[in-house]
Structure formats: structure tokens, C-alpha cells
Amino acid sequence: MPAGKHMTDEIEIQPEIFANLLDARGEIAEVAAAVARRRPRFALLAARGSSDHAALYAKYLIEVLLQLPVGLASPSTTTLYGARPDLTDVLLISVSQSGGSPDLLAVTESGRAQGALTVAITNTASSPLAEAAELSLDIRAGQERAVAATKTYSATLLTLYLLVDAIRGGDGTHAEALPELASTALSERTAVDEAVQRYRFADRMVTTGRGYSLATAQEAALKLAETSYLSARSYSGADLLHGPVAAIDPETAVLALTSNGRGGESIREVLDAVHERGADVCAIGSAAPQAPAAHRVPVPDCAEELAPVLEVLPVQQLALGLALARGFDPDAPRGLDKETKTR
């Protein structure tokens, strides 16, 4: 089997998965209605790995669209230290594509016992996590054979968006064009292929974004590290300017997620700063054509809160292409375990 075959297939199937999720809006609306009836005063998100990046996306969605304060759980406070905080009136969302992570299961069981309304977001409807939570949603991505998460990450993002949108009374209208937009993004390969050739010899890369796009900037760093063994770090645009920018030089490649909207507007100052320091900047997103960058990968425009779902598609193609160009098989990365088993 050709190197990267599983990852290639799972990148390409994402428009179909988005369509399937849009067809499941009725099921998502039922869960959303149950959440809305409970009127939570705070949201808590628990996840690991790529799912943790999806949870960061949900944090922005909930704080901006629902106007609720949100925290990211530290599972070790439950599993190592035995913390059992009072979670009355808290919405606890646990995100895990396998639904088998012991620490997330422990957090969910403990949270439910301490009064939280628990919701599991998984790719395994019959998983222990889905059974432990009061409510659950299947991201409907199908069996994942690639080691590096691709379709499960984007499907989780869309599921979380549809859930939050439904909680606020929406019907997912802004997401209806995503399957077609995703097909367009995946088919326009020229800029990605050029980026592969440009960065195939890079030793280190910094990824950055602001607002909703920060989640996919973090996912980008993970994908580059686990498939191409690049030394990749991710910073929010604001944090990058407060210290780490001092380490940016002409030997540094910077991958910036920049789409139309407030997040994309605010990242321009960051790109100007790293560009002045001589960094080789690759801009990905609907605002990429206007970005101060050495290389640009445009992405179809959509509502800003949905941009990360599309932005990750060329990121995944870039990670796959770089792995193959550097002589690696992303379907057989060194020492990578697909399921997080930490307690």
C-alpha cells in the first residue's frame, strides 16, 4: 500500500462527512434543547490531543455565541489528586474520538456525580465515555485508520459548532455550504504543493492564529510534528508578540491561519512583525491573499466562526505532503499511539 494512503483517503472524505453531519442536525438539536433547558451558568471542556484543540474551538464558540464563561479541565486534578469540585449548573463537555480515554472517562463520571450536565462528543457511539455521559453525540466520521487525526478533528469541530448554534436557537444555516466549500478547498492543490516544496527542508516552524483560528493553529503544529517530525510550536498571535517573537529569524518558517473576520484582522500586526524579522511566512485562510507573506494558500470564505473547519484542510494536505517529501510514511509514524491512555 502506498505511503500515506490512509491519511490521504481520510483527508479526501471530509466533504462527505460534513454532509452527513448536516443531515444529523435533528439529533444534535435534541441534545442542544436538553442543554438549553438546564440553563448552565458555566461550561467546562475536557479533552486530549487533537480533541483538546477542538475543545479550544468550542471555548471560543461558547464564550462568543452563548456568552457563557468556559474553562478547560485538567484531568489530572481528578485522576491524580482526587479533586471533586461542586459542578452544579455546569455544562461538562468531554471530547474524545475514541471515547476510551481513562482520564476523560474519570472526569465525566466524577463531573456527573458532582452535579454537572455531561455531554460526550465521540466517534464511537457505544464507547464507555458515551455511556458515562448523560447526553452524547456521534461525530459520524466512520472508522479512522490513519494514525494522525484528520477527519475526526474537522468532524468534531463541525459537531461542536452545530451543537452550540442549536443551543442558541440556530439551525446550522451558515454551515450548509461547508461540503461544497470543503471540496473546493481540497481540489485547489497548486498552492499546497508549492508550499510542500518550499518547506520540505525546514527544521522548525511556528504556527499562529487568533480567535477561532487559534485552535487549528495548534492542530497544525501537532500535525507537522507527528507526521513530518518538524520541531513545531504554536502560539496565539498575541502571545507570540510578547516574548517568543525574539526567537523568530530568517531560519524560521511561520504558518499563519488568517481568515476574514476579527481574528484575521488582528493577526496582521503579528505577520508584519515576523515578516520584518525575516521569517518565511506561509499564510493559510480566506484572508491569505492580502497577508504579508512569502507564500499564500487561499481558502474559500465562510462565516468566521466556521473558518477553522476549512482552514485545517490545506494544513492536513501540507502535513501529508511534507511527510512524503521528507521520506516518511505518515500512516506509520515513529512511536505514536492513536489513543490517549493517560490517567
Average pLDDT of the segment spanning 262-274: 90
Domain, as residue range, for 320: 188-325
Average pLDDT of the segment spanning 92-97: 96
d(CA 48, CA 171): 29
Q: Is residue 131 part of a domain?
A: yes
User: Is 220 found in the same domain as 167?
Assistant: no
Domain count, the chain: 2
Q: Is residue 341 part of a domain?
A: no
User: Is 281 found in the same domain as 164?
Assistant: no
- Give the closest residue to 56 by CA, choosing from 95, 82, 109: 95
For 29, counting Cβ atoms within 10 Å of its Cβ (0-12 exposed, 13-18 middle, 19+ buried), the class is: buried
CB of 120 within 8 A of CB of 145? no
User: Is 12 found in the same domain as 161?
Assistant: yes
Give the predicted TM-score (pTM) of the model.
0.95
**Chain CA centroid to CA 180, Å:** 20
Residue 125 has pLDDT above 60, yes or no: yes
**Chain CA centroid to CA 318, Å:** 16
Count helices and strands in the chain by DSSP H and E runs: 14, 10
User: Is 222 found in the same domain as 113?
Assistant: no
User: Is 204 found in the same domain as 58?
Assistant: no
**pLDDT tens-place string over residues 320-332:** 999 999 999 999 8
User: Is 150 found in the same domain as 197?
Assistant: no
Q: Which three cell numbers stand for residue 198?
A: 518550499
User: Is 250 found in the same domain as 123?
Assistant: no
CB of 77 within 8 A of CB of 154? no
Which residue among 175, 204, 236 closes a domain?
A: 175
User: Is 160 found in the same domain as 211?
Assistant: no
Give 296's strand partners.
283
Residue 252 has pLDDT above 90, yes or no: no
**Could you tell me the CATH number of the domain that includes residue 141?**
3.40.50.10490
pLDDT at 343: 57
Core vs surface per residue 229-249: b (16+ CB within 10 A) or e? ebebbbbbbeebeeeebeebe
d(CA 73, CA 62): 15
User: Is 117 found in the same domain as 77?
Assistant: yes
User: Is 292 found in the same domain as 150?
Assistant: no
**pLDDT tens-place string over residues 12-62:** 999 999 999 999 999 999 999 999 999 999 999 999 999 999 999 999 999
CB of 321 within 8 A of CB of 11? no
Which residue among 129, 150, 175 closes a domain?
A: 175
